[in-house]
Amino acid sequence: MEALQNTLFLDACKRRPVERTPIWIMRQAGRYLPEYRAVRANHDFLSMCKTPELAAEVTIQPVDIIGVDAAIIFSDILVIPEAMGMHLEMKEGEGPVFDSPIRNEEDADNLNQIDAYDNLKYVLDAISLTKRELNNRVPLIGFSGAPWTLLTYMIEGRGSKNFANVKKIIYNNPELAHRILYKLTDAVADYLSAQISAGADAIQIFDTWAGILSPRDYLVFALKYVNQVIEKIKRNGEPIIYFPKGVHYRMRTTADCGADVIGFDWTIDLTKTRDKIGNKVAVQGNLDPTVLYSEPNFIRREARKVLEAYGKGEGHIFNLGHGILPDINPEHARALVDFVKEESSAYHLKEGKNIIAS
């Protein structure tokens, strides 16, 4: 197998010196791109996920159009509950909906045990095909939802304001929550291992709803299971990124979860965070996604603040603090990527690569 041409992202994940800061954008394959909307006009979202040729095509679009340093496979975190037997519908204007959410032991027992090579083979095929079509230009990131975030969706059935249903279950029937979390931990680990075998160069675990938990419950219902997933999938050193959105507390414990990289949203101070955990893990983030609504000059000013907040040296992967919004002008995303590519070398030793090679 030939070597990757752009290893900046993988090097930064391992806190190796790089000549500039790598950048990719969460949700970079999506509706803000006219080229994505053109494909989507003829296919529903789940069919796109389940057709490797289409998934590969939209995965590669932001590499060509925006110039990011890594691709992320086009799919969704909700393919796991779907594979477990829950009926998933993408409702226009609302997002993903499970019409029969899980509310009791019987619903939980009806969830199928999944085998990634069987039930989620279409994602593995999309990864192999995308790797071939990328032709080693940039690495490919695989991903999954974290057990906690998947549980939240499976119990709420849709996005939620107060998360009343999942909270009722963790407070009134924690045994049920843990029973499903155990099942999900196995499914997520099996699925991510299969993604690595299919060619994913790195893995991101999205814990979008980690921040709705109290600091103690975060340890009990979220981090504990992420620890187990990482323990099960660590093999040949493919970098693992954990993104616990909204988590301001337990930074040191989070940094000990076994991941190589922790992703942060824009409400986190990267300087303080790096001081606390930067000798253990790399840091990904964290420009406010809504900054991309502004003009390029403002975007560059705000992006510089993120580079400055992290400071000089290895271990930073530039990203937004959450996914790119669907009504962002792609030119603005490109302005951000161009700026990080040009400006960030000032934050690194020029000969960084040579130093490590010698």
The answer to whether 31 contacts ligand CP3 (rule: CB under 6 A) is yes
∠ at Cα 94 (336, 223), nearest 5°?
70
How far from 354 is each of 19, 79, 317, CA to CA, in Å? 10, 42, 20
The answer to whether 28 contacts ligand CP3 (rule: CB under 6 A) is yes
Interacting stretch for ligand CP3, rule CB under 6 A, among 74-82, 125-133, 185-193, 264-272? 74-82
Binds ligand CP3 (CB under 6 A): choice among 14, 16, 27, 121: 27
Place of tokens 């086009």: 74
Taking the least distance from each CB to ligand CP3, the nearer of 67 and 174 is 67
The answer to whether 26 contacts ligand CP3 (rule: CB under 6 A) is yes
In whole angstroms, what is the distance from residue 107 CA to residue 246 CA?
29
| Annotated catalytic residue 40 | yes
SS3 66: coil
Q: How is residue 15 written in tokens? A: 């806190």
Taking the least distance from each CB to ligand CP3, the nearer of 144 and 352 is 144
The answer to whether 215 contacts ligand CP3 (rule: CB under 6 A) is no
Give the total of residues touching ligand CP3 (CB under 6 A). 22
Binds ligand CP3 (CB under 6 A): choice among 32, 98, 143, 148: 143
The answer to whether 122 contacts ligand CP3 (rule: CB under 6 A) is no
The answer to whether 29 contacts ligand CP3 (rule: CB under 6 A) is yes
**Is residue 245 within 8 Å of residue 265, measured between CB atoms?**
yes
Q: Within 229-268, which residues bind ligand CP3 (CB under 6 A)?
A: none
Find residue 23's DSSP bridge partners.
318
Find residue 88's DSSP bridge partners.
98
Q: How is residue 321 written in tokens? A: 């603090």
Residues 6+ apart with CB under 8 A from 12: 18, 21, 22, 282, 314, 315, 316, 317
- Amino acid identity for residue 83 in this structure: A
Selected catalytic residue, list 32, 36, 153, 191: 153
| Annotated catalytic residue 103 | no
The answer to whether 76 contacts ligand CP3 (rule: CB under 6 A) is yes
How far from 20 is each of 95, 194, 316, CA to CA, in Å? 37, 31, 10
In whole angstroms, what is the distance from residue 150 CA to residue 268 CA?
24
Q: Kindly report the number of other CB atoms within 10 A of residue 271's CB atom.
A: 13
358 exposure class (CB count in 10 Å sphere: 0-12, 13-18, 19+): exposed
Minimum gap (Å) between residue 62 Cβ and ligand CP3: 7
| Annotated catalytic residue 76 | yes
Tell me, residue by residue from 167 to 206, as one string, x for binding to ligand CP3 by CB under 6 A and - for no binding. ---------------------------------------x
Tell me, residue by residue from 265 to 304, as one string, x for binding to ligand CP3 by CB under 6 A and - for no binding. ----------------------------------------
Interface with ligand CP3 by CB under 6 A: which residues? 26-31, 40, 45, 72, 74-78, 90, 95-96, 143, 159, 206, 208, 323
Please identify every residue annotated as catalytic.
27, 31, 40, 76, 153
